[in-house]
Amino acid sequence: MAQENTEPPTPPSPIETLDIEAVLAKLSTSEKVDLLAGIDFWHTKAIPKHGIPSLRFTDGPNGVRGTRFFNGVPAACLPCGTALGATWNVPLLQEAGTLMGKETIAKGAHVILGPTVNMQRSPLGGRGFESFSEDPVLAGSSAAAIVNGIQETGVVASIKHFIANDQEHQRMAVDSIITERALREIYLLPFQIAVRDSKPGSFMSSYNKLGGTHVSENPRILDDILRKEWGWEGLIMSDWYGTYSTSEAMNAGLDLEMPGPSRWRGQLVNHALMANKISKQTLDARVREVLRLVSRVAKTGVPGNAPEGSRDTPETSALLRKIGGESIVLLKNDNKALPLDKSKTVAVIGPNAKIAAYCGGGSATLLPYYATTPFDGIAAKASETKYSVGCYSHVLLPLLGQNLKTADGKVGVTFKAFTDPVEVSDREPVDVIHLADTYMYLVDYYHPKLTEDLYWTEVEGFFTPDEDGDFEFGLTVHGTGKLFLDDELLIDNETVQRSGGSFFNVGTVEEVGVKNLKAGQTYKIKVEYASGVTSKLSDSDGVVSFGGGGIRIGGAKVIDPTEEIEKAVALAKSVDQVVICAGLNKDWEQEGHDREHMDLPGRTNDLISAVADANPNTVVVIQSGCPVRMPWADKVSSLAQAWYGGNETGNAIADVLFGDVNPSGKLPLSFPVRNEDNPAFLNYRSSHGRVLYGEDIYVGYRFYEATLKATQFPFGHGLSYTTFRLSELAVTNDGTNLTVQVLVENTGDRDGSEVVQVYIAQRAPCVKRPLKELKGFTKENIAAGQSKVVTVTIETKYATSYWDEERDTWVSEKDTYDVLVGTTSAETPLKASFEIEESKWWRGL
């Protein structure tokens, strides 16, 4: 639907720190109620006479979009969450957070909706790429670093999604059933660490239920644990449309309903006050947090309703490239196929080679300043580069925008909006926009002359193929639409519609049409569209519709996959070095739905196997946010996991492949051989409205080690172009802190970085515990031939404790504890021990 503020925006003016209690005393009940919900998709209510501005929120976890999904202001896109976790570099992640804060200020916003700190239960999670890790210590430490960086700029981070928002299937309705031990030791712990180490200024509640009660109205989670037990202070907001009640949510501690206009507050709060279902004290408590947030963001210097800008600078690019390079994990490097030789010929093959898979889909998406492809990055370094697509792997046809021209020669399409349907012969557009992209998510599209949810648009561009052949075009909509090629109807996505996973799972499948085209001839492509309210699809259970509508136009030449694989094999035989770029993209991994399997798309596995047989120096680069199945892993010489790398995706990949950057990333989650091997396999997705976390505390490596089940690659794994040796482990415990020291030697001929990972194992616990658990880590850069004593300090109670369900508290038991130090969860050769002389129970931070 067209989003419109409920009142004219107030002019920009500086935000000033408030005398909160004095302002609170002056507010009328009606004004207080107005402050407890947004007025549109991104803004809170302004009350100028009391000095209260409108605050602006913005997505997201890997970059700052600003206020618009549609035709937004370009932004810096950071590597995705799992990529950030793969750096294992806390200081670097703080720099990333600082960059996000500066980007937020440039967008005229005050609060960034991130980072995402939910756990990697399964490889199939639709938003798994947003999260850091399967391990709560790595996830919590990464989150704290990001938050500290964001908040040092004055911007407030809204850490999310609190709690157990670990799947997309029926995410608004599902009841997560979790033991108290697992809840505390796995799912709450990363948030607890972030509160302890960074004090995020706001929290976002999750969509799901926990133990039968939606989290946004769950007082045990929001009030008892977060505010009272942890002593946290700040504002709690709902996820978008994640408020489901009035008095229950208010009384539980949910301060702000987003987005607006309100569905659950306004007059409903007044009615609840009259009925004494909400007390005046509770109302004041909720308003007080909104006022505190206003005061807190005053130091950003960003006024209310500020203009949106960008800050595309060389310094930003350099930092993004550094983060991208540090995130790449070298999984395998037999025969030293890597680094590549710049003087030799390179064949770049694969469906991801000429596509910049820079981020996942959903709330994380944004319009990047630019995005480099792997082919571009490799070609910029190699003396001679050749290319073959090999096969397609798209779930939706590639976006056509960059291959189209407008009538006046600009790259992209012309978008026109109308208040009348196409049948009105003399209709005139009320809005005309040039767009470079053919993905148009209209959730926040607004024009003053479009006063109704129902409106019509026309999208036009011109396509000139560079070769003869059949071309396939695709149209996906939330709403209704038809695609015409030279005024001939090619696709009808209006008369009959089929549900698909597009536009946060409320749009259609991609309807396609095929046409034989001639090279050099120009064809007009036109889409006639009516807004989201015309959709013939019924709502799905557990799916949130953000309204508005959406249009997606894709297209590609029709290929014979067998012939293309044969071409790729012939090319691989003709060159010295081969790089296969494969994986997923934001159509496969996106908010709104989970993946159905771990397999690579289409004929990708056949392509990799055939090329690896043809050339022994085959390097495979996989881009995905979560693990994929790798049945060809033993065939290829080298293998790198490159995630979704942000603006500098292609350059970062090339830097590592050619050795300009020595890889130092480590896996932040275990890579199973098959989906059936992962601990959540039997308990993932909603079943009759609930999901049982049957793996309990045995998430990720905890499960694989306990069951002796082999992984494709273990948690913490990652190779380098140099070698390291760890020795001389020393452990001291002063009762408060555990200090672990180890000598790290770079025994190779290149400077490089190694991650020292510290795991703890209790010898004789009173309950079953994992064989070992990560409790601390640090990343150190060491010059070739040099050594360094590395220190990791861990609070003793965090190193040793588990959740005692009988006493409903943490316990650090009297026992002997082993300290296991290494460079992956599967390789911890150094061992020492310490004693806890007396059992101690504790709560809080």
CA 51 to CA 152: how far, in whole Å?
24
What secondary structure letter does DSSP report for 340? P
Give Cβ neighbours of residue 838 (< 8 Å, ≥ 6 apart).
814
Q: Residue 497, Cβ neighbours under 10 Å: how many?
A: 20
Q: For 555, list phi and psi in degrees, rounded to 5.
A: 180, 155
CB of 191 within 8 A of CB of 844?
Answer: no
What secondary structure letter does DSSP report for 519? T
CA 730 to CA 578: how far, in whole Å?
45
Q: 681, 586, 610, 573: which is closest to 347 by C-alpha?
A: 573
Give Cβ neighbours of residue 251 (< 8 Å, ≥ 6 apart).
217, 219, 277, 278, 282
CB of 315 within 8 A of CB of 626?
Answer: no
Q: 110, 101, 106, 41: which is closest to 74 by C-alpha?
A: 106
Which entry of 59, 239, 655, 696 is annotated as an active-site residue?
239
Q: Residue 263, Cβ neighbours under 10 Å: how many?
A: 14
Q: 137, 212, 132: which is closest to 176 by C-alpha?
A: 212
**632: helix, strand or coil:** coil
The Cβ-side half-sphere exposure at 140, using a 13 Å CA radius, reads: 24
CA 583 to CA 358: how far, in whole Å?
12
Report the chain's terminal Cα–Cα distance, integer Å: 44
Give Cβ neighbours of residue 301 (< 8 Å, ≥ 6 apart).
14, 105, 154
What secondary structure letter does DSSP report for 610? H
* Total count of residues recorded for the chain: 845
Q: For 517, list phi and psi in degrees, rounded to 5.
A: -120, 155
DSSP string, 96-147: HHHHHHHHHHHTT-SEEE--B------TT-TTGGGS--SSHHHHHHHHHHHH
**3-state helix vs strand vs coil in the chain, percent to 5:** 25, 30, 45
Structure tokens at 253: 């501690």
Annotation says 599 is catalytic: no
CA 306 to CA 106: how far, in whole Å?
9
CA 389 to CA 467: how far, in whole Å?
15
Torsion of CA 253, 286, 204, 795, to 10 degrees: -70
CA 493 to CA 512: how far, in whole Å?
9
CA 80 to CA 101: how far, in whole Å?
16
Give catalytic residues, as residue numbers.
239
